[in-house]
Structure 1
């Protein structure tokens, strides 16, 4: 089984233009994501899927494998599908290019032991919601699933509703997903379904059409999508500490 980790990197983010190449401790953000991804034990290959020559130039400078994709993709799944036409693999893992705090074990967790080849199939990391504020926040996608962790629905609204019991654990979608080639091809050749158009959640496309999306639970996920300059400053401070710890450890080992 061959696995490929794809890091979609889009230059034109409205709130933080040039996000993938924003500087973090002397290196572009995409470098930090790549360094975390190549530490995943279950990936055979990692590369960046960029939509802009400026990202490609930074990748070349830092010796990061990258391919230039089209500019019309509206989401990561669509960009991954284009890459899947060039890079052969049994399973493609989406690693968001704006999460420099991602941990390699999260990436490994999204790759199943066996991958169905006769049907469209995907996986999605989910985690328990830590606070009531997260439950109510529409940017946190809540999920429900059956006894085998197969996805039933995703919503910006808190689900399930605690009508008969308040003994409920809410789970949220985490942006680490994996797809076989059939699932990516389905996405390219389909149109948004009923609930995707209502909720504005791209991943609902698979559930609208009854495709197999398998949830994988991690009890604790620590990561941050860098969407604003405030997020960027926060990550810079955290990674400075990480850099200091590594450098101090290297000095002691000499």
Structure 2
């Protein structure tokens, strides 16, 4: 990590709501006796790259569980339809608080509360890459935000609409994001599809822009909030992560994650 990046303060925010549409209560589902959202909070804290780590939630129950494990929570509105607007509200609350002078950050990392396979090493590697990029470029060349991506290892994950796929230029600049299997496999080039991974590096400007702009047509069709930035011509840089992860969107995903974590533990 370059010297300028090391001097920047970064706050990690983990959005978590109790009433998930596809899998209610998933944030508090136990994985080897530890609630899923707590696993993500612990990975963020143990990565050593964040100056502060918070859950962003509208649930007193989630907040209480986080506090039991030694993590702080920021209460946000019940009205949010996506994690980006929830994070923006949490940032506003933090910066407007009485102790705002001690809570000023240069960047904000959004980490999905449903990504329990994320490890401190994955987060550390991504953040070192992202901070180096965003602090080394001039303003006109700087990406508006940076997000993680990963190769999709099998056809089942490619076909699953819960796995959001991304296509990029060779330098990682995002071209499109979809729940559909993209790019379509008409040719024979043996290139893996790539999926969105819920680790993003934002500025206050990028978060405010999201909440001050209207949802675009593609965002509404796909149900993918990150498309708002692309529809308005903002640059998203996608960086590959150094390990495997899977977002938990269904009870079947939870079983898969539990099996993977059991295998990881048994090989230590």
TM-score (norm 1): 0.84
1:31 lines up with 2:44 in the alignment:
no
Tell me the number of residue pairs that the alignment of Structure 1 and Structure 2 aligns.
244
Partner SS for 1:74? coil
Tell me by how many angstroms 1:158 deviates: 3.3
Question: What is aligned with 1:42?
Answer: 49
Q: Do the aligned partners of 1:138 and 1:156 also contact (CA within 8 Å) in 2?
A: yes
Which residue of the partner structure matches residue 223 of structure 1? 245
- Other-structure match for 1:112: 131
Task: Please state how far the C-alpha of 1:84 moved relative to its aligned partner.
Answer: 1.5
The runs of at least 4 consecutive aligned structure 1 residues that moved more than 6 Å come to: 243-246
1:192 Cα shift? 1.1
Spell out the pairing of 1:132-211 with structure 2 (5 A cutoff): 132-163=155-186, 165-169=187-191, 170-211=193-234
Q: How does 1:2-151 map to 2 (within 5 A)?
A: 2-85=9-92, 86-87=94-95, 88-108=104-124, 109-110=126-127, 111-113=130-132, 114-115=134-135, 121-151=144-174
Task: Pick the structure with more helix per residue.
Answer: 2
Post-superposition CA distance 1:67-122 (Å, at most 9, x none):
11111111111111011112432111111112222112332304321347957721
Q: Check 1:189–1:101 CA distance in 2 against 1; reply closer, same or farther (3 A cut).
A: same
Q: Judging changes above 3 Å, is the alpha-carbon distance between structure 1 residues 19 and 117 closer, same or farther for their aligned structure 2 residues?
A: farther
**In 1, distance between residues paired with 2:12 and 2:19?**
22
2:100 maps to what in 1? none
Q: Indicate the SS of the match to 2:46.
A: coil
- In structure 2, stretches of 5+ residues that fail to align are 1-7, 96-103
Residue 44 of structure 1: how far off its partner (Å): 1.5
RMSD (Å), alpha carbons: 2.5
Contact 1:37 1:107 in 2 (8 A): yes
**More displaced, 154-163 or 110-119?**
110-119
The equivalent residue for 2:3 is: none
Change in CA separation of 1:117 and 1:182 when aligned onto 2, cut-off 3 Å: farther
Structure 1 unaligned runs (5+)?
Answer: 247-254
Contact 1:123 1:215 (C-alpha < 8 Å) held by counterparts: yes
TM normalised by structure 2 equals 0.80
Contact kept? 2:75, 2:90, Cα under 8 Å: no
Contact 1:7 1:97 in 2 (8 A): yes
